[in-house]
A and B are shown apart, each in its own frame.
Chain A
């Protein structure tokens, strides 16, 4: 029997329902108003009174309006046909919606029921299978997608029959499974999963160690992230969070990229919609959009759906990870998500925690980040979700609950600094405050030794030390004056500026400079470290600046030139002759 409810109270998008039967926390219901059905989620239950957050505007809703409960939590529909789609936070296909404006109560099916997929069996009749085991494979946009035993299945099943290779729709039965009691289960390509429950359909979750190449020097070289790693980018507005995130999502080496635009600007989402279909994936040469899913819940869309959007994105990522794919998940911004939680907590008149956020904000954030990671599946294949979230701290002050709680769980920290942004030193990642815990992992060190070189990590540490030393000297010069410090100090300072201008700073809008492949990063790092190790002769600090500015200029021209081209080699020669001018010995 379906539980029914009657509206007994409305405050903005929080509605109170009097119910006539059992209701579970997180259950979805639909409230009827003026011909529209408004989707809502249970967030609190007190006796007969059920508090729900409505995912839409409640304008015109009346006391006494009827609601039907669905018996399930907020869930997503998973299957072939999701790649290159644009969804809202509740997985409605935005392109299927009619009209320029979003109509209330309009829900669209996220998959395509008509398309046929070419199915190739991977299992055979008589096989013993458990939940998430691979039954077969279809190809979508060149990605091998697995058709899996329904995630909800418990215990072992025997494959009674399996479809032959051929074309099927998502609703066609492709397998019949028999459980241990002899009951048959028909399986098609569609899976459903509640978004707020983590998928644990893997064997184990080892520590991640494989470098995830992003083409952004300040990340790859200085604070690398790994496949299955977690990172976050806090920064005040205007410091370039979104540009950096877009750069990563365009360039990172991943099979699937999911972008959750959570409570962000619509024009930024439009930028993705407009630009991605034009972009070519630098790793495969195919269109970037083919491997991308966008979850767009812009800041003016209903706040409760914003909260759901990050979960929707994570669940999709988990779905692809179960197929042994490498997924990159980007959420911009997790602060908006936390604010959505705060708004609801506020409406429920809960006692507020720090900065009026709900008390359990810390566990909500850590549970969410915990869903990322690299896993070994039951068949020993591996899959990974790399998660990078941005945080928009109020007033750029990192001592606020969302930043602090994220810092506890994310392993990479990319601090965007107002001062660097003001001076147009982009990406404005502060090289001294930022870190990657993965640099300390012995597994990672081993991996780098094999894939780049054995000296790499030492050089990275040296660069960091030099940047710190450069900053200290700059402070001393500010106190003591230019001639108050020895000339050697100026040389050390300008060597750190060289690192800053040539390695850290990168022009995201320049076709060549925007992406630096690892090979090229290796060469730049070696080059710069060699210069840093070179002894130069100066009599006067005034000449130091002029000399290094010239050097920086040449190196930047190199960054703008195609790697290995004649122009590049020409600048390299200029650089060598400049170095020999002042080189000692």
Chain B
């Protein structure tokens, strides 16, 4: 961003912390961008003529006589069809060696959709993974994170979901992603021949952490362009939101704000909600669906980041390694899609909701039986049957390597019911078991 002739240059910085610096300046707007010796910064606090800037790259190397220029606007992104197939950094600058984008310049982090102008999401997003489609069906316009420990293959699952889902655009927002993961996504997308519908905004671990704060807004601003202007179905992948929250904590800490739970800023809920609530189904047909990743430490979901996220998103997907079958499964207990009832049994076969619940209930019985077994008690015949059922269910349906359509998934489940149980043990509405029970 070049300096323009009439812009005033400030050269006296009063205070520098690791992420912020402050100086005396006038005529500055809140949220406005500035450059400090060419480094991009944003106004985060103004008291009289003292302006505090958050420097995205970090303040290392900034002298007290650095040149500060205010740019008169909040961060923007140029949006047009040219975005498609390209890779950008957190500032929306190309990192794939291609040309700059031409298009309409819009401020990122724009206003929210009027809730009465939203449409109720009602389109199923099929992923082929039964742990998702059968138990936790996704719907367009939904926002849902994977809760996973860092060693779990969430990026692989997410890439699979993105490629199988029938969407017009896939927008990847990578925050604190390792360079290897970035290359993984790039390869998977180009090998699948899907690059023509993918846009990526990436901040890798090699980039300064505070820059990450711009990634979700950049990704979602471009998503809004395609969903509103072009009425397209857009899927936004955000990985990893925990890194995003860590950056929020860094900035609030440098600004001497009183931390609330787990050293996170008190505004964490609102900060995350602003991002996730961009997921929407527009009446004109366009939609934004957000699938995110929130990494956990040691599976702890009471930490402020997953906890606040859980209250904002429409469910969560848990990945877990099932030692009985040696595969990663989508945990049916802790996973939940809150919008599933909008499609399950409506866009899918009518037995879907009851079959899903019955299977999970039996799987829960198996978990009890397992506890009993581990405590050294005799198992009843029913216990033994639930254990065998659980193993098959895990292997044939919950595992992330499954790729079936929902009708096949339901048939497989009925098959397992009939293999191990009597009708009355399964507890399903009689009309349904009369029709679907495998004899």
Contacts and interface: CB of A to CB of B under 8 A. Distances in A.
Interface of A: 8-12, 16, 57-64, 86, 94-95, 97, 99-104, 236-238, 263, 265-271, 273-274, 296, 298-301, 303, 333, 335-336, 339, 342-343, 345-347, 349, 352, 355-356, 392, 394-397, 422-424, 478, 481-483, 509, 542, 545, 549-550, 552-553, 556-557, 560
14 contacts: A59-B29, A59-B31, A61-B29, A62-B30, A95-B116, A103-B111, A267-B339, A273-B118, A300-B276, A300-B277, A339-B266, A424-B357, A549-B425, A549-B427
B200 interface: no
Interface in B322-350: 333-334, 336, 338-339, 341
Given A8-B47, A59-B74, A339-B269, A478 B372 contact: yes
Nearest to B306: A395
B277 A100 contact: no
Contacts, number: 212
B27 to A, nearest CB: 6
Nearest to B266: A346
B28 interface: yes
Contacts of A97: 114, 116
A274 B119 CA distance: 8
A131 to B, nearest CB: 35
Contacts of A396: 302
A346 B307 contact: no
A128 B364 CA distance: 68
A269 B115 contact: yes
Given A265-B277, A266-B277, A356-B259, A99 B114 contact: yes
The interface centre, meaning the residue of A95, A265, A298, A481 with most chain B CB atoms within 10 A of its CB, is A265
B258 A104 contact: no
Interface in B349-378: 353, 357, 360-361, 364, 371-372, 375, 377-378
Given A103-B111, A104-B111, A299-B277, A394 B45 contact: no
Interface in B59-99: 74
Q: 5 tightest CB-CB pairs across the interface, nearest first?
A: A395-B302, A300-B277, A299-B273, A356-B260, A237-B310
A102 B29 contact: no
B382 interface: yes
Given A94-B116, A265-B312, A343 B267 contact: yes
Contacts of A12: 267
Given A10-B30, A102-B114, A394-B307, A481 B378 contact: yes
A62 B113 contact: no
B29 A355 contact: no
Contacts of A237: 307, 310-311, 316
B259 to A, nearest CB: 7
Given A9-B46, A59-B107, 7 more contacts: A12-B267, A62-B27, A101-B112, A267-B314, A346-B258, A356-B259, A397-B302
Contacts of B142: 267
B364 A423 contact: yes
A58 B30 contact: yes
Contacts of A104: 111
B73 to A, nearest CB: 8
Interface core residue of A58, A95, A394, A549 (most chain B CB under 10 Å) = A394
Interface residues of B, number: 85
Nearest to B44: A11
B110 A101 contact: yes
A422 B334 contact: yes
Contact of B29 (A60, A339, A549): A60
Interface in B131-152: 141-142
B424 interface: yes
Nearest to B332: A422
Nearest to A57: B111
B304 interface: yes
A101 B26 contact: no
A268 B279 CA distance: 12
A11 B114 CA distance: 25
A397 B119 CA distance: 34
B430 interface: yes
A64 B273 CA distance: 31
Quick one: which of A301, A509, A557 has the most chain B CB within 10 A? A301
B178 interface: no
A236 B111 CA distance: 29
Given A59-B30, A265-B277, A352-B258, A270 B115 contact: yes
